[in-house]
Chain A
Amino acid sequence: MAALAHALRRHDVAVAVRSAVACAEAVAALGAATRADLYWAGRATLVHRPEDIAAYDAAFAAVVDEAVTWSAPSRPSPTALLVDAAADGDDDAVPDQAHDDPAAVLRQSAHEALRHADLGTCSVEERAELHRAIARLRVGVATRRSRRRRPARGGDELDLGATVTAALATGGEPLVLHRRAPSVRPRRLVLLVDVSGSMEPYARALLRFAHAAVASRGAGRVEAFTLGTRLTRITRALTTRDPDLALERAAGEVADWSGGTRLGDALALFVDRWGARGLARGAVVVVLSDGWDRGDPEAVAEAMARLHRVAHHVVWVNPLKAAPGYEPLARGMAAALPHVDTFVTGHSLASLEDLAALLATLGTADRPARRSAA
């Protein structure tokens, strides 16, 4: 059975020592075991996800039947940029952005117009002003109910325990009614910013948004990563108070600015390395990307499905969504959508203000209804 655990590890299935021990116990409990007994005893103790059943079957066959030798599929490394003939096209071929309707602009004040200006197409001066405005954004705190309850005036339930204790002091007469309410804890916010070529017009503005989020909520509760040909954690760099300096430091850490997109690989790497280990668990996760991906859309779908199952709420911010008649045709975007709870645009200051307001509301509300993983 130890050989079985070992073979599974070779197939990229994590097997804890305790699971291997449990497996040995299970086999012992079955006594004189048939091949089927061995199979089920091993599967019940070593496999914790339906996705791993195939690997288990292979490992079982290799170890117990000594029949098949199984070689792990070679994964494309996330740093190798493969040019795929069937890809979405050139990374820098961004669809034309819609300009505001000029008549509408005239009716609005200049400031109003600027708030709705597309960050991807405005002038250098406008962009500088918008960046300053983004830096001033307050990103609200989404909260979750914690298990503790705290005394609260006007709480939603009577704290009879405290009332009884107080009544003891007044001869058993409950003169003061104590109330309590569930206490709330802030949820972690995780921002994943796509910095590949097609996102170039927006990436800097979105990174400033990430900086504003870190600044207004304090590090530790906000985490930021960039997605490109690789995955870079930039949380620490963004803790610098001055936005320009913070951006400079973050940019220094990101080696793949405006490169190609391996969205699926980068997302999978995030879920493997950070997400499932607790960083994204119960968190509000925001992906800021146009969904252009040169890799396999299946990879995007699978990574997003896994992310969706650990996160509390997944928001996808796509700057292209604002264009009239926008359809999520980019294959990565189409693959991700079934695993996204809220799909919004992020092409202008106004839409980022809306996003900041939205993030503050995604807390204790009931989990959105979700498709079960098919």
Chain B
Amino acid sequence: MAEAAPEPLAPLPAGDVPDDPAGLRAALADHGYLADEGLATVVYLALRLRRPLLLEGEAGVGKTEVAKVLARWQGSRLLRLQCFEGIDAAQALYQWDHARQLLHLRAAEAAGDLAGRGTAAVEDELHDERFLVRRPVLEALGHRGAGPPPVLLIDEVDRADDEFEALLLEVLSDWSVTVPELGTVTAEVPPVVVITSNRTRDVHDALKRRCLYHWVEHPDFDREVAVIRLRVPEVDDVLAREVAAATAVLRDLGLYKPPGVAESIDWTAALAALGTRRLDAATVDATLGAVLKYREDAERTRTFGLDGLVDALRSRAS
């Protein structure tokens, strides 16, 4: 596929994006996302340069959450496209609402339109906007009017196949898509695009070059504690530190699926629901299912010894 250079776009009005990455970091924090310096800088650049953002990293490090917080902060719509193997253009772009088209036909026939106005006229009506079901990508490009452009989240692109990536590259290069029956839809204002990948498969280089790329790491201890406190405000600092320390220990056990921040938050919420104040072996044992999602991982952790785990986390958390 030829890589045409995209048309340069007018810079965003200054009011929409803070002046520097630090300002953006503060804005995201106000809306419940604690980004580190690197992520904040890359998000800032994506907004400034209007380039899609490709976030790659382990499951549960908070990639999808970036798109959600951007939508919350800008007060824009979040359009989510969950990828899967075999996803095709129809699921990403548009489908025709054939059932309504059929009804329309029957109505036209009942009113004698087919004989009166002729078949061609009725046929043209069938491809009216009314019968078009916009799927997320077309919806994102079709945004018109004054409000902020929507955030388009393309989640787990590594699960889609080559052909879908090629389609995506086309859309992200021209910000336009062609519907045979309607013509070409071009975005007035490009949407904010966040693409995530768990890297079960490498995304094509051409797509990566079109995007700004960031490898999202697990947060460091202090940031994880801060994230837990922010998302589960009802727990105190001690428990938040203990959970962050415990997940840090679990990440070092070489598990099949090491817990991410998402799991830390789930776990803390579960502990809070049970009224737990401090972690001990019995509590960990009872709530392990909130943080480990594979039987083998739970077994490995119990083999490692829950008492040992609690000792290790105590020394880390203090």
Contact = CB atoms under 8 A, between A and B. Distances in A.
Contact of A18 (B41, B126, B209, B215): B209
Contacts, number: 127
A108 interface: no
B166 to A, nearest CB: 9
Contact of A40 (B37, B102, B105, B161): B37
Identify the interface centre among A16, A45, A144: most chain B CB within 10 Å of its CB: A45
A164 B164 contact: no
Interface stretch (B184-192, B197-205, B310-318): B197-205
Interface in B45-71: 45, 48-49, 51, 56, 58-59
A19 B206 CA distance: 10
Interface string B148-163: 0000000000010111
A161 B48 CA distance: 42
Interface stretch (B81-89, B226-234, B272-280): B81-89
Interface residues of A, number: 53
B209 A44 contact: no
A282 B214 CA distance: 24
Interface string A248-290: 0000000000000000000000000000100001100000000
Contacts of B88: 147, 149, 182
Interface string B10-21: 000000000011
Given A50-B56, A172-B114, A372-B58, A18 B105 contact: no
Contacts of A49: 202
A173 B123 CA distance: 14
B41 A37 contact: yes
A209 B8 CA distance: 54
A372 B198 contact: yes
Contact of A164 (B102, B114, B162): B102
B249 interface: no
Contact of B256 (A19, A163, A364, A371): A371
B215 A146 contact: no
B212 interface: yes
Given A37-B41, A372-B59, A282 B49 contact: no
Contacts of A371: 256
Contact of B85 (A276, A281, A367, A374): A367
A373 B164 CA distance: 22
Interface of A: 14, 16, 18-19, 22, 25-26, 29-31, 36-37, 40-41, 43-45, 47-50, 53, 144-147, 149, 158, 160-161, 163-164, 167-168, 171-174, 182, 276, 281-282, 306, 309-310, 364, 366-367, 370-374
18 contacts: A16-B205, A22-B51, A25-B49, A30-B20, A40-B37, A41-B45, A43-B38, A47-B215, A53-B215, A145-B86, A160-B101, A160-B102, A164-B126, A172-B108, A309-B201, A310-B202, A367-B159, A372-B257
Given A18-B209, A40-B21, 7 more contacts: A30-B20, A48-B208, A163-B98, A281-B162, A366-B85, A367-B159, A374-B258
